[in-house]
Structure 1
């Protein structure tokens, strides 16, 4: 679905979009019509949200990863803190980028239309059910402003990818955190019980970041079918391509059945395009229109190289299989390293792994950084944990050498 309007947030846009909330929602599904009576978010609240990526507990999402880089001293031997695909974009994507550089003076509207048509054809979607943007971040921001700009609460697991929930907190919404089960998976029953009259959104990251666990597919589909009748459910599938059979796990079919879900996908992970910034959401057309008021999307939000690379590599099964093969080899090496040093870990379905530490998390990260290995630490169940992204084999070997000095 092409959008050529500037979605930057300013006073004029806020005045214009007031009409959307007061009279433009009459054709929306019942759950979305509930937004009609609520006032729009204050301009001050949104300005605060847009200008800051900080949460009450520190940095969120990409900001937290980026904040580690200035602390690096010496040579970084292993960049294992950002859940990137260290094997890079596919050769086809790289060639496509260089072949289109001469057209860099052009706005990429038509090329984006081709990419969106390719995604819709593969997934069996109506074009009005898709919105593309520069990675997931603008889409998460747009969702926060649209659905929680009036207040209310968002329900999610804890811990999970906190970009969307912390953005909601920035506009004075409440984040209801539901602890994971003992096996570190989502507690769907507890999440459903946590929903109340003020809940505006339920967020599920599947596979989950930072634990790398997945939700039982049948239970998740049943949960979404029930809950989406009362409140929208956002299912973040950023890491789904790392699963053996993504098609068996995705909730896209549930959207096609008419359920009020928002499914997020990205080219940042298995496709190796994190630096180019491109992603998309799939939802009901009415929800796409609603999100489009505040989520930067379309030809003005995406660069020509990003669209070109995504179009060339989308659903490249041979490339994806090769990436997963290399990733699994590196992950197996990591598992063996941890076990040999007497450490446990959470078995992961993604390109990152969490394991409990035997020293304070910040100190561990600092000591590993001194040895040229960048990592992230977490507090889980009041204990110190490390989340390590899966790197190339040479990076995993660098981790193992440094880790053995501290373990």
Structure 2
């Protein structure tokens, strides 16, 4: 326990400084197996072995024909954002004291919430770290789906937490009932990524809201809505209204996806002021965002003409990918995000290496005794490059 506390303390100091799916029944049974517990100081084999986006990018040939490993929006940022960024450059030597509240007010007005309930940062990553630091304690645990986005729980593990992984349902969706049953006296946080990464699946909005309402009475719930802008009705799905009034709910959003700001870095959480005060102890949120990024975000926030256009092109590329997979005899998990997960017929690392040799970067996973590939949705020329390479090795 002493070692766990030491690791946690060091990390805190560092943070302050810095179609259908016809799979066999046996496979579906494995999906609904018992939760897996990863103990403090260890990482699961899939996480430890899988290449991260950074590793792939640094090892990739330059230029790539298709950069399909990082869930980015290749159509952005929009022209309004680019112009605002350029216009902000002459005064970028100044701290953006006025820009931060201006963007916060825009978000608050659109969502119908109070400005004091919003915390901005340079992407959602610093906020995930802050939550991991704040809610972790030696001997505690964090509950997630399996597989799901691993940023927050993997950091909690390094701080002495246990990571309780609850297998997905037969439809590869978060099993909310099983996640609720997994909660015990040591649970410090339940993490919900919806739509989920890497599966791209989304849970029923009413069921999720009821789940969060119940669970938040027992433990804090962190809802990651990074991909919510790809849904037909984001406003009808988001849990921001719940976070606006419940101190045990945190909702994270990002500009990194549909807005095309992955390289510009901007995200935020919505929760109660007292929780925001605690999170700010673990992240330099206010001073972590550049003046140019803020200018671009202010110019493009809720620009429906651009967002709808980018979404339309994303959906067209995704439908093209579906057709390619079906023609080659592959199934896939129907996706509500800007990526698609499908089972492959060779070892994952071998598959991604062969695709990379052909100038196409993708990611792989292994779960349920199956190798999987995740393809981020790109421009149509990138999807065509994927198709050409895929047909050679499929």
TM-score of the superposed pair, with normalisation by structure 1: 0.86
Task: Please list every run of at least 4 consecutive aligned residues from structure 1 whose deviation after the TM superposition is greater than 4 angstroms.
Answer: 48-56
Contact 1:151 1:171 in 2 (8 A): no
The partner residue of 1:355 within 301, 321, 342 is 342
Partner of 1:275: 263
Partner of 1:316: 303
Instruction: Note closer, same or farther for the CA distance 1:194–1:327 as it changes in structure 2 (3 Å cut).
Output: same
> CA–CA distance in 1 between the matches of 2:42 and 2:299?
35
- Indicate whether 1:209 and 2:172 are aligned: no
Which segments of 5 or more consecutive residues in structure 1 lack a partner in the other structure?
A: 1-38
Shift of 1:125: 1.4
Q: Secondary structure at the match of 1:109?
A: coil
Partner of 1:47: 10
Instruction: Note closer, same or farther for the CA distance 1:105–1:119 as it changes in structure 2 (3 Å cut).
Output: same
> CA–CA distance in 1 between the matches of 2:160 and 2:279?
19
Contact 2:247 2:275 in 1 (8 A): no
Partner of 1:92: 80
Question: 1:217-244 deviations in whole A, cap 9, x for unaligned?
Answer: 1111111111101111000000000111
Count of equivalent residues: 366
Instruction: Note closer, same or farther for the CA distance 1:102–1:54 as it changes in structure 2 (3 Å cut).
Output: farther
Contact 1:225 1:259 in 2 (8 A): no
Instruction: Note closer, same or farther for the CA distance 1:272–1:46 as it changes in structure 2 (3 Å cut).
Output: farther
TM-score of the superposed pair, with normalisation by structure 2: 0.89
> CA–CA distance in 1 between the matches of 2:247 and 2:205?
16
The partner residue of 1:178 within 163, 166, 174 is 166
- Indicate whether 1:227 and 2:215 are aligned: yes
Contact 1:46 1:145 in 2 (8 A): no
User: What is the root-mean-square deviation in Å for CA atoms of aligned residues?
Assistant: 2.1
Question: 1:144-176 deviations in whole A, cap 9, x for unaligned?
Answer: 111104441000100000000000001010100
Contact 2:256 2:265 in 1 (8 A): yes
**Greater mean deviation of Cα atoms: 321-330 or 248-257:** 248-257
Q: Secondary structure at the match of 2:391?
A: helix
Partner of 1:289: 277
The partner residue of 1:340 within 327, 331, 338 is 327
Partner of 2:316: 329
The partner residue of 1:250 within 232, 235, 238 is 238
Shift of 1:43: 5.3
Contact 2:245 2:272 in 1 (8 A): no
Shift of 1:363: 0.2
